[in-house]
Amino acid sequence: MLAAGWPVDAREALNRLPTGSARERHRRFDLEMALDAKEGRPLDVAAADAALREDAEMPGVEKGLHLAYHAALLAADRGGDCVRPLVAARASAGPMPRAFARRIRLVRYRGVIAALVIGAWLLAAVLVGAATAGGVVWF
């Protein structure tokens, strides 16, 4: 609803979201911050930060990264440096797990591999076309 440009409906839907657990409250506050940013309202990250700190199920590294995300949103809203909190949180998170890093690398290289395969196919098609047009029979 937010992406479709229906902020009133989005806010009504947000008000109907469950708030029983800390994770549900945090999710709701995150969506409210996105809606406030879309509407140009000032951001209030205190409630989302408090709900995030109450969530006992979330790992500490993920909590730190999410708090840095909130700080970056607030800095961007106030015209400050929004990259610094993210860089500091990424540095404190440590190295990325190998499986996750491999998955990211595969996604990055998927386009390169597809381009190479298509390029090789086009090159072969041009060579066959040129040979056929010149009257050369290779087989």
Residue type, 46: A
Q: What is the mean pLDDT of residues 39-57?
A: 80
Quick check: 86 and 68 in contact, CB under 8 A?
yes
pLDDT of 113 > 90? The answer is yes
Looking at the fold, whether 16 and 78 belong to one and the same domain comes out as yes
Q: What's the CA gap between 81 and 54, in Å, rounded? A: 27
Looking at the fold, whether 19 and 49 belong to one and the same domain comes out as yes
Please count the CA atoms within 13 angstroms of the CA of 3 that sit on its side-chain side. 0
CA angle 5, 31, 11 (to 5 degrees): 55
E strand or H helix at 25: helix 22-39
Looking at the fold, whether 26 and 67 belong to one and the same domain comes out as yes
Looking at the fold, whether 69 and 33 belong to one and the same domain comes out as yes
Looking at the fold, whether 13 and 46 belong to one and the same domain comes out as yes
Looking at the fold, whether 48 and 111 belong to one and the same domain comes out as no
pLDDT value, residue 123: 96
Model confidence, pTM: 0.55
Looking at the fold, whether 109 and 139 belong to one and the same domain comes out as yes
pLDDT value, residue 138: 62
Residue 67 makes CB contacts below 8 A (sequence gap 6+) with: 49, 52, 89
Looking at the fold, whether 66 and 116 belong to one and the same domain comes out as no
Among 42, 31, 30, smallest CA distance to 76 is for 42
Looking at the fold, whether 74 and 124 belong to one and the same domain comes out as no
For the chain, how many structural domains are there in total?
Answer: 2
pLDDT value, residue 9: 80
Residue 58, classed as helix, strand or coil, is: coil
Range(s) of the domain holding residue 88: 1-94
Position 13 confidence tier, pLDDT thresholds 50, 70, 90 = confident
Looking at the fold, whether 68 and 131 belong to one and the same domain comes out as no
Position 1 confidence tier, pLDDT thresholds 50, 70, 90 = low
* DSSP conformational letter for 97: P
Looking at the fold, whether 77 and 105 belong to one and the same domain comes out as no
Q: What is the mean pLDDT of residues 52-78?
A: 81
pLDDT value, residue 35: 82
Looking at the fold, whether 90 and 38 belong to one and the same domain comes out as yes
